Amino acid sequence: MHPEVPIKTIHLFAELDHLLIDVLYNLPINDWERTTLSPHWNIKDIAAHLLDGNIRSLSTSRDHFFEKKMQPLSQYKEVVAYLNRINNDWVNIMRKISPQVIIELLTLTNVMYADHLGELDPFARSIYPVGWAGESESQNWFHIAREYTEKWHHQQQIRSAIGEETILFSPALFRPYVETSLRAIPYHLKDFNAREGECVAITIKDVDTYYLVMSECGWIHHDKGNTDLVSRITIDPKVIWKMFSKEISTEEVVASADITGNNNLANKILGTVAVMA
């Protein structure tokens, strides 16, 4: 019998996808060209990228169809460069396609992709590891949660561009996003020197406090932390999502956070990203 899924997200895809279609459907045609927090992509580009994610993932994960003659990618930087290239290739092609067609294709493929993810054994090996968490092999529940964070932060980029961010910060939608993204921190801290037992607390305003403890195996998430608390960070939800998705500089994140204790440890944490970048 499998244990409980650590972070449940599959039941949220339908609501998140509905909110995406709703915001795009009601978007005036000129607003599709609005700039976003993503340096080179406007709203239409991000919508096209979300469509690409559905189609490409269905092709590989469901249909087991892969690009022929693709060279193996062994280094993290190689994977990032490859992803950047194919993402930009798709976006450039989709600039010839109308917003209405993009909405129609998203409506169709959102359901198809969510249905496929729902059929996966959450504890079986995923088709791709969650690289930003330092994993070379991941379970499907984490892969699904990673896909949820992709859909969440790209939709938030769109909403940020038109000033309608609030809805995605509802506890039901935001907590799974942030708890998945927090799993990037231990990997980000892998080379940070600390004594076993040292603890850091990360308080996300109006959400919760999360603890990381140094163990003999490295930094691990802990429910309650311990008495050897060496650093405490308090940060706003509207800042931490931009940190995780690399929409803001580390200096800006540090300036906006309240830090007590070990500044070096806190500053290192506040440079974490939970995307392939």
In the chain, the percentage of residues whose pLDDT exceeds 90 is 88
Angle ∠(245,246,251) on CA atoms, nearest 5:
135
Residue 59 contacts residue 65 (beta carbons within 8 Å): yes
Residue 165 contacts residue 36 (beta carbons within 8 Å): no
Query: 137 and 265: one domain?
Result: no
Residue type, 77: K
pTM value? Answer: 0.96
Name the domain boundary from 104, 136, 169. Answer: 169
- Which of the four pLDDT bands, split at 50, 70 and 90, describes residue 121? very high
The pLDDT of residue 210 = 97
Least confident of 21-35, 58-72, 199-213: 58-72
CATH number, domain containing residue 242: 3.30.1050.10
The pLDDT of residue 70 = 67
Residue type, 162: I
- Which of the four pLDDT bands, split at 50, 70 and 90, describes residue 184? very high
Q: Which domain holds residue 212?
A: 184-269
Residue given tokens 């309650």 in the structure block = 224
Contacts of 82 (CB under 8 A, 6+ apart): 73
Question: Which residues lie across from 42 on neighbouring strands?
Answer: 35
- Which of the four pLDDT bands, split at 50, 70 and 90, describes residue 244? very high
The pLDDT of residue 74 = 67
Structural domain includes residue 5: no
Structural domain includes residue 193: yes
The pLDDT of residue 140 = 98
Q: How far apart are CA 249 and CA 242, in angstroms?
A: 9
Over residues 25-31, the mean pLDDT reads 98
Which whole-number Å values give the CA distances from 123 to 3, 97, 190, in the listed order?
9, 38, 25
Name the domain boundary from 124, 141, 169. Answer: 169
Over residues 56-72, the mean pLDDT reads 87
Query: 136 and 216: one domain?
Result: no
* Count of domains observed in the chain: 2
The pLDDT of residue 55 = 98
Query: 102 and 237: one domain?
Result: no
Residue 86 contacts residue 70 (beta carbons within 8 Å): no
> What phi and psi, each to the nearest 5 degrees, are found at residue 250?
-60, -40
Structural domain includes residue 192: yes
- The backbone region for 37, taken as left when phi is positive above 0, alpha when psi lies in -120 to 50, beta otherwise, is alpha
Q: Please, how many CA atoms are within 13 Å of residue 23, restricted to the half-sphere of its CB?
A: 26
Q: How far apart are CA 45 and CA 65, in angstroms?
A: 25
The pLDDT of residue 82 = 87
Over residues 86-97, the mean pLDDT reads 95
